[in-house]
Structure formats: structure tokens, C-alpha cells
Amino acid sequence: MRYWLKLHVRNCQGALIDLAARPLATLLTAAVIGIALAMPASLNLLVKNGRNLAGGWDNARDFSVYLQVGTQLEVARKLASDIEKMNGVEQVSVTDADTAFAEFAAATGFGEVLNELDGNPLPHTLGVRPAADISVADLNTLAERLKLNAAVDIVQIDTAWVERLNAILDFLRRVVIVATAVLVIGVLIIVGNTIRLDIQSRRDEIEVLKLLGASDGFVRRPFLYVGLWYGIFGSLLAVVLLLLGGLILSGPVQTLIGLYSSDVALLGIDGSTLLLVAAGGLFAGWGGAWSAVARHLAAIQPH
């Protein structure tokens, strides 16, 4: 076991020395891997920030149920509890008429005028949050059920917006998946082609090793570590690109957000993103090297 570990350490160091001997070619290959990893990661980060700026997609799916003016608050709370037990409903909140009146007065600045009214013209309101997986048809059915209640006056729901929202979410998810798959496949091909050139340049050495009785695993191991180092360098470069991109864009984006009087903070690179980038780089480097070695090493036989 000790000899086996020393052999792996020696191969790993030898692969790093070989890459350091050709810095330009190594940098170019690592740059391709880094760019390919940074693109889907930045797209995923863009989607997360879009959801954050929009206040969350879940809030966009909420709809309001306005009760009849004069409905007792206890009746509104009982109705909210009943609605929350329905299928397809995740949460129901109650905004009483007095709170709504105070918020409207503060938002419009017409507090003195509104105080001249004989009473509160606003009704109690229920904020209904549907389940994330509810379909548009089920959402319409839920709205029709709520309209049948005698205490309900208006159900304000925009199913067209829900359809657009679902389409946007599905499109963005598919874009991230497709972009990631295409770029990873591209990296596998690039790393595999680079390793293939290394194998061809060391063909005579490989033939001699096989004549001396070296196994395919012994011959294969240095090339796998070359691919592993490519993946590590590419992952580090991808992280640097993401950090630089965030640093360059954070100032203008924060200025733009400030113009709209929003205090939403931008989401940066989190630990899960870093782990995915690192895992993607290691998989791409190691997998590309393995595919190239598996195809071309068996074709080299001593004469």
C-alpha cells in the first residue's frame, strides 16, 4: 500500500512538472475549461439574482381574496384556516381592514383626507399562496371554489401571469441544464484531444514500457493525473472569472437598483456554487483524460 501511494504521488508530481514545462499550452487548455465552467455558473447566478430582485417567484404566484365589507375578522380568520387546508394551497395570510387602511393612508399621503370618512371602506383581505407545483387549471378551479363562498367578494388572480411565470422558470432551468451539458461535453472533447496528443508524442516511450511488462494501468495513470491537473487549474480560473465578473458588475448593478429605490442585495458566489464548479472541473479533466486514454492507449502495442 505504501508503494502504491508513493507511485500515485510520483505520478501526480510528474504530471504537474510536465504541465509546468509547457506553460502556454497548459494555460490555454485551463482557460478553455475555466470559461466553460464559468458560463453556466454565471448564468445560474444570474437566475438566482433575478429571483431575488423580483422578490421571489413564490410571491409572484400569490393572489388576493377580498371579503365583503363588514365581514367580521373572526369569520375572515376562520375562512383563511379553511382555505389553507385545501389541496394546492401552501399558505394563507390575513390582512385586516384597519391595517390595510393604515397602510394605504401611509403609502398615498392622504391620511388627513381619509380620516374624514365616516368609516373604513376597505375589506379584510386574504393573501393566498398556492403550492409550487399547482397547475393553471387547478388554480382556476381553486379560484372558482373561493368565489362560491358568501363572504368572498372578489378573487383577484392572474392565471396568464402564472402561465408566463411557469414558462420562464422552465425555460431558464432548461437553458442552464443544456448550457452546462454542452459546455462540459466540449471540455471533455478538448481535454481528450490534448491527452491524445500527449499520448502520440510519447508513443515510443509507451511501447518500451509495454515491452518491459508495464500494465495498462501503470501507463494510464500519468495521463489521468494530467487531466486532473487541467481540471483543477480550470476550476480555479473559473472561480477567478466569477469573482472578477461580480466585482466589475456589482457597482453598476447596485447603482441601477438604487435608482429604483430598492434595498435588495445582490447574491454572490456561495459555497454550493464553488463546490459545483470544482466538481465540474475535476470531472471534466479526469473524464476527458480517461476517455482519451481508453481509446488510444489500447491501439499502441509494441512490435
| pLDDT by position in tens, the chain (length 303) | 787 788 778 888 888 888 888 889 888 888 888 888 888 888 877 777 666 665 545 555 678 899 998 888 898 899 989 888 888 888 899 988 888 878 777 766 666 666 666 777 788 899 888 887 777 788 888 888 888 888 888 888 766 666 676 677 678 778 888 888 888 888 888 888 888 888 887 777 777 877 777 777 777 788 888 888 998 998 999 888 888 887 787 777 667 666 654 555 666 677 777 888 888 888 888 888 888 887 777 666 666
Both 191 and 292 in a single domain? yes
Dihedral (Cα; 280, 282, 288, 291), 10-degree rounding? -110
Question: Looking at 80, 105, 131, which one is the last position of a domain?
Answer: 131
Both 95 and 76 in a single domain? yes
Both 283 and 245 in a single domain? yes
Number of domains in the chain: 2
Beta partners for residue 154, in sequence order:
66
Beta partners for residue 127, in sequence order:
64, 93
Residue range of the domain that includes 212: 2-56+165-296
Asked if 240 and 33 touch (Cβ cutoff 8 Å), the reply is no
Instruction: Tell me whether residue 301 is in a domain.
Output: no
For 217, the grid coordinates are: 494501468
Question: Looking at 131, 156, 184, which one is the last position of a domain?
Answer: 131
In the chain, the N- to C-terminal Cα span, in Å, equals 33
Rg of the chain on CA atoms, in Å: 30
Asked if 191 and 227 touch (Cβ cutoff 8 Å), the reply is yes
On whether the pTM is more than 0.75, the answer is: no
